[in-house]
Amino acid sequence: MNLYFPPFIYSFFLVSGTLISISSSSLFGMWMGLEINLMSFIPMIINLENNKKSSEAAIKYFLIQAIASAVMIFSSMYFYLYSGSTFSCTPNVLVTLALCMKLGMAPFHFWFPEVLEGLNWVNSLLLLTWQKISPLVILSVFFYANTLLTLALMSALAGSISGINQTSMRKILAFSSISHLGWMGSMMYFNSSLWMDYFFIYCFTSFILCFSFWLLNLNYFSQLTLTQNINEKFIIFINMLSLGGLPPLLGFLPKWIAMMVISSNFPILIVLILSSLITLYFYTRMCFSTFTLYMQSMVWFKKNKTSKNFYMLSILTSFSLIGIIPLSIMNL
């Protein structure tokens, strides 16, 4: 599998579109930054191979983002015309719905796993991390509280339940992302800026997993059962359990912070913890089945020598194992 590096011009506009969105003082400027970001990411989806999956993913991504952008610019016009009326909350509701659609939060989440399935690992990482920065920052400014909380709780449950029977690594990461968006949305509801800390650690754990899948050339769960190197399996599942939030791994720290923020509202906290337990359940089930089930015909195969990539993954995994210690000390 050849790693595809996008041309510099697309990367430049991808970064500049995000910076315009998060630094703009008007809704129109934020919308313009989102559009620049969108138009630079579409050519990156259609990679050098130009296969049917990437073309289909690009079309789906463009249509969803265009619809959400249209709703967003319409709501800004509505806000300008009827800002003093009794329906002044309507633009905030529409902006919240449009940004949640851009992020892939439930019930607008159906496009997200399908688009991610058609991308290579570099573009998958961009869609899971960088492409969420602008909508999340704008959402933290313009959200309508009740709408955001409802969609956040729906995302937490939908992301955890939908990932149970998945076998594609990309779809597992997609539904995990939807579930994490529920946690971040709930933290926004309580007017906490700590959602940025949550997002940063989520981006780091997603980077380790996407990097691991790319180096080991893993796309489906069944490929792990054929992997002879037990250390590679260990690295994958340490990072997956970290992404799920299993203590005392690094991924538990942002959920610990979120629980401190949301502790004042016990029912919301129960829903979020329940969704996290469902996610950890199927991660752990995958872990057990991969370590215990293997093909007997593979036993006598010659084992591959340890490569430099393995040592690199080991170093990154060590952050998942011990990274929570210095970070938790810093937050005390």
- Asked if 323 contacts 250 with a C-beta cutoff of 8 angstroms, the reply is yes
23 in a structural domain: yes
- Asked if 72 contacts 123 with a C-beta cutoff of 8 angstroms, the reply is no
Phi-psi region of 2 (alpha: psi -120 to 50; beta: other; left: phi over 0): beta
> Exposure string (b/e) for 52-86, b if CB count within 10 Å is 16 or more?
eebeebbebbbebbeebbebbbebbebbeeeeeee
2 in a structural domain: no
C-alpha to C-alpha distances, 251 to 91, 125, 270, 325, 331, nearest whole angstrom: 35, 17, 19, 12, 15
3 in a structural domain: no
pLDDT computed for residue 308 by the predictor: 61
Residue 218's SS3 state is coil
281 in a structural domain: yes
pLDDT computed for residue 142 by the predictor: 86
The string of pLDDT tens digits covering residues 227-283 is 777 888 888 888 999 999 888 888 898 999 999 999 888 899 999 999 999 999 988
The C-alpha atoms of residue 122 and residue 127 are separated, in whole angstroms, by 9
Helix 230-244 crosses helix 195-216 at what angle (to 10 degrees)? Answer: 160
- Asked if 45 contacts 119 with a C-beta cutoff of 8 angstroms, the reply is yes
pLDDT computed for residue 6 by the predictor: 54
Which pairs with CB-CB distance under 8 Å and at least 24 residues apart come from 268-272?
268/149, 268/153, 268/186, 271/153, 271/156, 271/157, 272/153, 272/156, 272/182, 272/183, 272/186
Name the band, by pLDDT with cuts 50, 70 and 90, for residue 307.
low
Name the band, by pLDDT with cuts 50, 70 and 90, for residue 302.
very low
Number of domains, the chain = 1
- Asked if 182 contacts 188 with a C-beta cutoff of 8 angstroms, the reply is no
Where is average pLDDT lowest: 44-48, 153-157, 218-222?
44-48
The string of pLDDT tens digits covering residues 172-195 is 999 999 999 999 999 999 877 899
Percent of the chain with pLDDT over 90: 48
Q: Work out the average pLDDT over 10-27.
A: 91
Name the band, by pLDDT with cuts 50, 70 and 90, for residue 1.
very low
Name the band, by pLDDT with cuts 50, 70 and 90, for residue 149.
very high
Q: Work out the average pLDDT over 59-76.
A: 92
128 in a structural domain: yes
The C-alpha atoms of residue 107 and residue 81 are separated, in whole angstroms, by 29
pLDDT computed for residue 182 by the predictor: 95
207 in a structural domain: yes
pLDDT computed for residue 140 by the predictor: 92
- Assess whether pLDDT exceeds 80 at residue 290: no
The C-alpha atoms of residue 271 and residue 256 are separated, in whole angstroms, by 15
User: Which residue segment(s) compose the domain that 208 sits in?
Assistant: 8-330
192 in a structural domain: yes
C-alpha to C-alpha distances, 217 to 142, 177, 280, nearest whole angstrom: 41, 21, 24
1 in a structural domain: no
Q: Which comes out higher in pLDDT, residue 322 or 285?
A: 285
Provide the whole-model pTM: 0.89
